[in-house]
Amino acid sequence: MKAQSSREGPPVEIFRSHSSIEAEVVRGLLATHRIESVVASALAPSVFPIPFGQAEFRVSVPSASAPAARDLIAGHLDEAAAAEVRRLSETLGPLEHRIGYNFRDLGLLEHALTHRSRAHEDASGGVMDNESLEFLGDAVLGFVIADLLFTRFPTHSEGYKSKVKAGIVSSASLARLAEDIELGRFVLLGRGEEKTGGRQKSAILADGFEALIAAVYLDGGVEAARAFIVSRFGPLIAAAGEHAAEAVFTEDWKSALQEWLQAHGHGLPVYRLAAAEGPDHRKRFDIEVLVDGEVRGRAVGRSKKEAEQHAAREALETLNRSR
C-alpha cells in the first residue's frame, strides 16, 4: 500500500499533548498505518503577557488523512485508557478497600497521592501534585467537622467546639489517621523524598489525607465525603463528648515539659524554628525543642504554637524514656 502524501491537502492538527513521549507514540502509531505526520512544539496558551507555560506538542497530518488518523488515535487511546484503569486498580485497589470507597475516576485518587517531589521530577510536565486537592480537602473537612460538632454539641460554647475542632483537624491527628489506612504505602514520591523517609513524614501524611478527602468529594460529592469523614473522625468526636476538650485535644505539653525540667534540675527549654514550608495560607512550621542545648523533640504543625506543643510532648516522652 502506498504511503499517504503531503500533496493530499494542507496539514491539519489532530492531536495535542504536554508529553513529547506521548506525541511520538502517536506519530509512531500513524506511521505503522502509513500515514505521514509532523510533530511541532509550542508553549501552551498563557494568561500572562510574556511567554510562560508548559511546552505543548502538536501532531498534524494531511487533511485527506485526518479522518482516518483521528479514528485510529481514538481507538488506540481507548485501549490505553483501559490499560491505565487496570494498572490503577491493581495499584490502588487495596487503598480503596481500606477507606471503604470505590472511585469512579481512579485518576483522582492517583492525583491526591502525588507529592510535589514526584511532579518536580517529571520531565514531561504532565504530572500534577496534590497541593490544590489538599487545599480543597482542608475546606471540606473543616465544613463537615463544624457541622458534626454543631449537631453533636448544640448547647456547648463556641469556644469548646472550636477547641475540639482544632484538635480533630490538627496535623498530628491527620497523620495518625493516615497511618491507620497505611496511606504512606501509596503516596507517590520523588526519588529524593523517598530516600529521606518521606513515607513516614507526618506532614506528607497529613497533607495526603486532606487531598484524599478532596478526591472523594470530587468523585462522589458531599455525601460521599461526609460518610468518609464520619467513618474516620467519628471516634474522635465521640471522645470529645466523654471528656473535657482541654484534656483530650489541647494538652499543655509545654507547661508539662517545663515543670519536668525544673523538677529534675534542668534549664528552661528553647524552641527553635527549623523550617517553614508552603504558601502563606498553608504554612507548615517545623519546630525543634532544645534541652540544655540538645534537640530533644521535633514536630510539624500548621502554626508555631501547635508545632511547639507537639515538639514538647515528644521531648517529654524522650526524656522519660532516657531516665
Catalytic residues: 138, 210
- Give every strand in the sheet of 294-301, ordered side by side: 270-277, 284-291, 294-301
Distances (CA, A) of 318 to 85, 205, 311, 313: 46, 23, 10, 9
**Rounded distance, CA 163 to CA 249, Å?**
7
φ/ψ of residue 267, rounded to 5: -80, 180
Question: Which runs of E-coded beta strand occur in the chain?
Answer: 11-17, 38-43, 55-62, 270-277, 284-291, 294-301
DSSP reduced 3-state for 192:
helix
**Rounded distance, CA 153 to CA 240, Å?**
10
- A 10 A CB-CB count for 117 gives 19
Q: What is the DSSP letter of 245?
A: H
Go through 201-235 and write b for each residue having 16 or more CB atoms within 10 A of its CB, e for each that does not: bbbbbbbbbbbbbbbbbbbbeeeebbebbeebbee
Q: What is the DSSP letter of 252?
A: -
Smallest Cα–Cα separation from 109: which of 122, 119, 90, 95? Answer: 95
Smallest Cα–Cα separation from 118: which of 127, 108, 107, 131? Answer: 127
DSSP reduced 3-state for 48:
coil
Ordered DSSP codes for 136-197:
HHHHHHHHHHHHHHHHH-TTS-HHHHHHHHHHHTSHHHHHHHHHHTTGGGT-B--HHHHHTT
